[in-house]
Copies of this chain bind each other. A is one copy, B any other.
């Protein structure tokens, strides 16, 4: 299944790296803890990082009642957000061809504020389980006063696109004899072994869902 190509999401530069495949785009989103969201205030465009969750074709975010970004997104009614993984830095003999390997996605969606506690809990569950899979089952659910202090928004994906760059560095043929170095510096975002908080009882075991997450991410996202 592919997202529809519109004037918003159609990739013109580097079109060979483009994908509109839903599964590929979901995988890129799910491997990212943080996205960057664009929002509009008084006709001016802002961007801010924020954590998020995904359930099917819906993304979830939350913020305090006074959060400028959440409030602007609700008012705007639509959102554009992006995620990005850096996989390698590519150095070429020519300055012009320096580039990176990466996986990135841009999503366009309609924003709605979740109203009932039931809906808000569903959204927050998606955010917590996106952070660490299955985590929701191993922590205390938000209570009434926490839910009251939080706005939860759903972004229903309308369309999206991604770019996946995996090629080696590429100098022009006529530059290959130049006496400069050309190569790749791999980049990885890894997690290290989980550390129990000092408020935990001595010898506390690290739970399986946390160990599973560590195993999955210790060699990179």
Chain A residues at the B interface, C-beta cutoff of 8 Å = 8, 12-13, 33-34, 36-40, 43-49, 51, 63-64, 66-68, 76, 78, 80-82, 84, 86, 89, 91-96, 98, 100, 102, 104, 106, 124, 128, 131-132, 135-136, 138-142, 146, 150, 168-169, 171, 175-176, 178, 180-200, 204-207, 210, 213-214
Contact = CB atoms under 8 A, between A and B. Distances in A.
Contacts of A175: 140
B180 A197 contact: no
Contacts of A180: 138-140
B138 A181 contact: yes
Q: How many copies of this chain does the complex contain? A: 2
Contact of A197 (B84, B182, B197, B207): B182
Contact of A81 (B47, B93, B176): B47
A198 B43 CA distance: 49
